[in-house]
Homo-oligomer: A and B are copies of this chain.
């Protein structure tokens, strides 16, 4: 599973919205791009996808922006990665169905499952909690 910039940005946006979900007023795209250095028009695309999934709501007009519309405990990084579209660990090549190909395929599948399990356990609410406990500071000494 390759984490593309698109998926990474989608996770950043979802986390930012989750953290600020108790503010009441929606969060403008501009605030996210400024704070996280995400290219503006690209983030627009991504938020549109998230809106299509029903995970965020948009508020148009002045004072508009985006707001989380799901329980952050129910969304994992795996959900976001799969929905936004990232490539699986594994192989799409067809080739011949030989025993060797079969054994290899089983290994690719096992590897994919291992990383999927890690990302599946990382819920937005869990990560927000960590962020608020300052757990992140250790990464930027």
Contact = CB atoms under 8 A, between A and B. Distances in A.
Contacts of A103: 15, 127, 130-131, 135-136, 139
Contacts of A110: 118
- Interface SS of chain A: helix
B15 A111 contact: no
Contacts of A127: 103-104, 107
A130 B95 CA distance: 20
B96 A136 contact: no
Contact of A104 (B15, B101, B112, B117): B15
Contacts of A122: 107
Interface residues of A, number: 58
A87 B137 contact: no
> How many copies of this chain are found per oligomer?
2
A16 B99 CA distance: 11
Given A1-B111, A2-B2, A89-B2, A36 B131 contact: no
Contacts of A119: 107, 111
A48 to B, nearest CB: 19
**Residue in A89, A96, A105 whose Cβ sees the most chain B Cβ within 10 Å:** A89
Given A3-B91, A8-B104, A8-B108, 5 more contacts: A4-B91, A8-B93, A35-B96, A98-B136, A99-B136
